[in-house]
Structure 1
Amino acid sequence: MTKTDLQRNAGLPFDPSLVASIRVNTPATLRRAATLPARRSLKRDWQAAWLARAISVIDLTTLAGDDTEGRVRRLCAKALHPVRADILDAIGLPDLTVGAVCVYHEMVPAAVAALQGRLPVAAVSTGFPAGLSPFHLRLKEIEASVAAGASEIDIVISRRHVLTGNWQALYDEMAQMRAACGAAHVKAILATGELGTLRNVAKASMVCMLAGADFIKTSTGKESVNATLPVSLIMMRAIRDYERLSGFKVGYKPAGGVSKAKDAISYLALVKEELGDRWLRPDLFRFGASSLLGDIERQLEHHVTGRYSVGHRHAVG
C-alpha cells in the first residue's frame, strides 16, 4: 500500500470572496504549456528513470461496461508486475508496481481479493461519469465502496454548480462526499472539459480543496476533452495557492488522454517545476490511465535491448 507522511487535507471554511478573487491569464497559460514538451527531452538512463517513476504513479484503470471479475484479476496481476521481470532487473527496480488499481464499485471486491493489500483499490463513485444520480444515492455508493474495501474514492462533481457559479453548493456537496468517504481518500473529478473556461477550472479546484478533497482530478476519461497541459497548469497552481493558504498538500491526477510515454514525461516535468519533487510520489500524484503502461513498457524494453517490440505484446489485461 502507498505509504505517506502527509497530514490529510482537513479543508477550510468556505470563503466566497476568495473564490471571487481568482483570476486566470489564459494566453500566458497556453504559452507556458505549449513550451513544455519542446524544453523537456530526456535520453537513455534519465528517460528510463522518469518512465519508471511514471509507472509508480499510475492508477491502472478499467472502466468498461463489459468489465468482468476475470478482467479485473488480470489487471491486478499487471499492476503488481507491470513490466517483464528481466527488464525491471536490468534497470535495478525488480519490485516496481503501479500506484493503485481503479475500477467500478461492482468490481471492488474482486480487486481487493486479487491485490490482498499490496496496492490501494480506487473506486469511481457518485453516479460516474455524469454525476447526475440522486444525491443520497451518490453518498450511499461511496459508503458501499468503502465498506467493500476501497481505500480511495474518485467522485464526480455536479458540473452545473460550476457552470451556474453556485460555489457554495459545490462546497457543500464536496464536504458531504468527503465525510461519506471516512478514512478513504477522496479524489474530486472536475470534468474540466465540460467546465467552459480555465477560470472555472481554477475556481472549482479551489472550492473542492476548501471542502477537503485529498486529490483534484481532471476528468472521468469519458469527456470529449480530458487532461491537457493548460488545465494541468491551472490546477497545479491552485494546489500551490491552497498549500500557501492552508498548509495542506493536495494531490493531482490527470486522467484521460495521457497514453504515450513522452506525454507522461511532460506531465511529470510540469509537476516538478510547479509543485516540486515531493509531488512526484504516489500519495500526491497519479496518472489515470490504461494504455499508458503498455507504451512505457515498450520504451523500457527498447532502453534495455535496443529493440522496439510491437504494441500488442504489452497488453494490459
Structure 2
Amino acid sequence: MDFTSLNQDDDESAITQLCHDSRIELDSGDLLNVAALCVYPRWVSLAKQLRPDNQTRIATVANFPAGDAKPATVMHEVSAALEAGADEIDLVIPYRAVMAGQWWLAAALVKSVRRLNEACVLKVIIESGELQDVSLVRTASQLALDEGADFIKTSTGKVAVNATLEAAKVMLECIRDHGNVAGFKAAGGIRTMAEASDYYELVKQTLGADALTAKRFRLGASSLRQSLLQQMHTDGVLNDTQGAVTQTGEY
C-alpha cells in the first residue's frame, strides 16, 4: 500500500501522523513498512525527515489533480519535488487531451517527465473514471507505458468516479501486452479490505503471482489506510501504541 494524505488542509500534524502510521508495529514486535507515502509537494521534505530509514519511499503528485497545467509548470513542479527528496512522482496525464483525440500531447508530457529523472519511479495517473470509454482507457495506458511509465494508476481520487475493476482490467491487460514488467496502482474510492482483495485477485489473474510485490502492485486510498489499521487492531496484531503520536511529533 501507498499511505496517502492529499487534503488541502493537510498540516504538519497530519503528515506526522501519516508517517507514524506507515511504520506498523505488530504485537509480536515485528515492524511492517508500507511501500510509499504520498503527499503534496510542499510536504515532501518533512516526510523525508520523518522517514529517513529508506524503508518507505516518499511519493508526491504533479499536474494534480486537474491534469491541465502548462508543461513548463509541471516540469518545474517535478524538478522541485525531486530536489526536495521525492522518490516517486504520481503524474496526472492531460487526460482531456486524450479525450479530445490529442493523445500526443499527453505522450509528450510523460516523455518529458521521464527524461527528467530516469531513476525516479514514475506512476502515471490516467484518470480512468473521467475517460470512461474503454478505448480511451486503453489509449492512455498504452501511451503512458510507451513513454516510460513504471506504473499506470487509475485515479486521483478527486473526481466522481475513481478506481473501478472494469478500468483496472483494461489497464492490466495493457501492462501484460506491453511486456508484463510495469506496475499497476489502484487508487480512489477503495475503502474496505474486501474491495482491496478484489484488485489483488485481478492482478494475480492477469499478471500472475509474481506481480504481487510493491514493485508491481500498489493500492492507494486514505480510507483504506484507516480500514487496515482498524482491522489489524481488531484482530489484535497491532502494538497498543500504534496510531499514537507524541505531542512533539516523535514516534
Question: Same fold by TM-score, threshold 0.5 exceeded?
Answer: yes
Q: TM-score, normalising length from structure 2?
A: 0.90
Which of 2, 10, 13 is the matching residue for 1:67? 10
How far apart, CA to CA, are the structure 2 residues paired with 1:141 and 1:159?
18
- Does the aligned pair in 1 maintain the 2:33–2:55 contact within 8 Å? no
Which of 165, 178, 185 is the matching residue for 1:242? 178
- Please show how residues 184-199 of structure 1 align to structure 2 within 5 Å: 184-199=120-135
Higher RCO (CA-CA < 8 Å; seq separation 6+): 1
Q: Secondary structure at the match of 2:17?
A: helix
- In the alignment of these two chains, the number of paired residues is 241
Residues 1:267 and 2:199 are matched in the alignment: yes
- Does the aligned pair in 1 maintain the 2:142–2:174 contact within 8 Å? yes
- Please show how residues 100-119 of structure 1 align to structure 2 within 5 Å: 100-116=36-52, 117-119=54-56
- Does the aligned pair in 2 maintain the 1:142–1:181 contact within 8 Å? no
How far apart, CA to CA, are the structure 1 residues paired with 2:181 and 2:36?
20
- Please show how residues 192-207 of structure 1 align to structure 2 within 5 Å: 192-207=128-143
- Does the aligned pair in 2 maintain the 1:209–1:242 contact within 8 Å? yes
Higher normalized helix content (fraction of residues): 1
How far apart, CA to CA, are the structure 1 residues paired with 2:244 and 2:131?
33
| Bigger radius of gyration among the two | 1
Which of 166, 182, 189 is the matching residue for 1:257? 189
Q: Secondary structure at the match of 1:283?
A: coil
- Does the aligned pair in 2 maintain the 1:122–1:154 contact within 8 Å? yes
- Does the aligned pair in 1 maintain the 2:21–2:243 contact within 8 Å? no
How far apart, CA to CA, are the structure 2 residues paired with 1:141 and 1:121?
15
Which of 179, 183, 199 is the matching residue for 2:115? 179
Unaligned runs of 5+ in 2: none
Q: What is the match of residue 169 of structure 2?
A: 233
- Give percent identity, aligned residues only: 38
Residues 1:132 and 2:75 are matched in the alignment: no
Q: Secondary structure at the match of 2:37?
A: strand
Q: TM-score, normalising length from structure 1?
A: 0.72
Q: Give 1:299's aligned amino acid.
A: Q
Higher normalized strand content (fraction of residues): 2
How far is 1:120 from its partner? Answer: 0.3
How far is 1:315 from its partner? Answer: 9.2
How far is 1:240 from its partner? Answer: 0.3
